[in-house]
Amino acid sequence: MKTLNVAVVGATGAVGQTMLKVLEERNFPVATLLPLASARSKGQNLVFRGETTAIEEACPEAFSDIDLAFFSAGTDTSLSLAPEAVKRGAVVVDNSNAFRMNPDVPLVVPEVNPEALRTHQGIIANPNCSTIQMVMVLKPLHDRARIKRVVVSTYQAVSGTGQEAIAELRTQSSQILLGQPVKPEIYPYQIAFNVLPHIDVFDETGYTLEEWKMVRETAKIMSDETIAITATAVRVPVMYGHSEAINIETEKKLLPEEARAILAQAPGVVVVDDPRENKYPLPTQAAGRNEVFVGRIREDFSTRNGLNLWVVADNLRKGAAYNAVQIAERLLTDGLL
């Protein structure tokens, strides 16, 4: 099997650390690994496949001998360094928002639109975490009954913000339980024992960038601009795993039992739906897993062809690192790398 020189940009972050785990778990054909991060992390060590590797500073010259680069260090880093990596011969799988809506950059969930990879020009965008898990469930239903409208509310874990947010939730939880004062630093308000209807920045419409990502990315991934989508994104005091309440209206009638059968056959999707036994997807059960879990599948009796669904996935895995590695695996399989 062909082996590759692989760089992971943002190797010290929550997504970067998960990326390294997934590459190990999947036995991805890494010849040499180059972990990259900011200057302050240069010289630190990490362990990959039992071997200690030094972290180097992310800069254009670092990509000289790299075949494949995973970017998970934020939009500014991707904008400045991803094109430099491509110039030096690397293919980039980017987890930031930098290139997702660029018409020349494929935005890919391998189970949904792998054909888009054939158009890549060196950069492939990994979709937003909340978008990925939603389209994994929407696409099989859309293919069967055509979805006309989607209303989604998200309940997103703090790990979506990064390591510092995970630490803040732990600290605040302890402080509150001990009766100590809480001082928010990562979020504008206390996140422990609270929910914040605010992810990313607000624009003049009153929506946040996170909400618009779900709208625009879904249309691009599913190649259908006619689907009406509206979203409300909420941060909740959960460490790992995003949850979504999704309401869909379809062109053709789709009964809950039909939807369950369709989703049970969908790659990467697991149906957990037995209310009588209190079985439904939970973020605690999805954490550390690569699948997308769906349950609470039931008819929306307020409209003619409506369904409600509850969808949960590990945002660091299928929502980020695992999807990125799947993209790279598909590039290899299709001879595109």
Residues noted as catalytic: 129, 242
End-to-end CA distance of the chain: 13
Assess contact for 54 and 44: CB atoms under 8 A: yes
DSSP letter (8 states) at residue 68:
E
Name the residue among 97, 85, 70 with its Cα closest to residue 16: 70
Q: Count CB neighbours of 215 within 10 A.
A: 17
Name the residue among 270, 266, 264 with its Cα closest to residue 285: 270
d(CA 157, CA 160): 6
Q: Count CB neighbours of 113 within 10 A.
A: 18
Strand partners, 312: 243, 293
Q: What is the torsional sign of CA 178, 183, 184, 185?
A: negative
Cβ-Cβ contacts under 8 Å for 22 (sequence gap 6 or more) = 28, 290, 317, 321, 322, 325
